[in-house]
């Protein structure tokens, strides 16, 4: 199975720490024998790859999402692009799971999307990783 990891990349409060967290999420996927995709590692990062035209970012990310069996979405910071990816996943029947810190207010529009199959509301990074591990084990 293949996971499309989604989450904010533009104007992050702490880009380095966020991307380290993203890599740890990918590590959990790898340890559960899932393939995965993160845009920031594949040529469309807004910081590392600012020269990539917007239409290429759009097409690349949606092509990768279309090849995925499920989506795991980090909602720790607002992201219009992530919202678009959630809608694309809904339109293409790709199940999605939300991941966010306890106490984060998530818009009802996202929570109400019919392709959202579950949420991981976590209290710490280790809690997030443990809950993702449990989820992935249940899906394998």
pLDDT of residue 140: 84
Residues of the chain with pLDDT under 50: none
Structural domain boundaries in the chain: 2-133
Quickly name the fold that domain 2-133 has: Rossmann fold (3.40.50)
pLDDT of residue 40: 92
DSSP H or E stretch at residue 118: strand 116-122
Contact between 117 and 14 under an 8 Å Cβ cutoff? The reply is no
pLDDT of residue 1: 96
**pTM of this prediction exceeds 0.85:** yes
Please give the angle made by the CA atoms of 137, 139 and 140, to the nearest 5 degrees: 70
- pLDDT tens profile 5-44: 999 999 999 999 999 999 999 999 999 999 999 999 999 9
84 beta partners: none
3-state SS assignment for residue 6: strand
């Amino acid at each position: 199975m293949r996971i499309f990891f989604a989450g904010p990349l533009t104007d992050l409060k702490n880009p380095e720490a966020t991307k380290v967290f993203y890599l740890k999420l990918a590590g959990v996927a790898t340890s559960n024998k899932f393939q995965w995709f993160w845009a920031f590692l594949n040529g469309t990062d807004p910081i590392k790859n600012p020269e990539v035209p917007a239409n290429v970012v759009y097409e690349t990310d949606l092509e990768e999402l279309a090849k995925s069996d499920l989506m795991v979405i980090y909602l720790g910071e607002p992201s219009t692009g992530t919202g678009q990816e959630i809608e694309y996943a809904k339109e293409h029947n790709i199940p999605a799971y939300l991941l966010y810190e306890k106490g984060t207010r998530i818009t009802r529009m996202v929570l109400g999307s019919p392709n959202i199959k579950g949420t991981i509301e976590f209290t710490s990074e280790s809690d997030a990783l443990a809950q993702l591990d449990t989820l992935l084990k249940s899906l394998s």
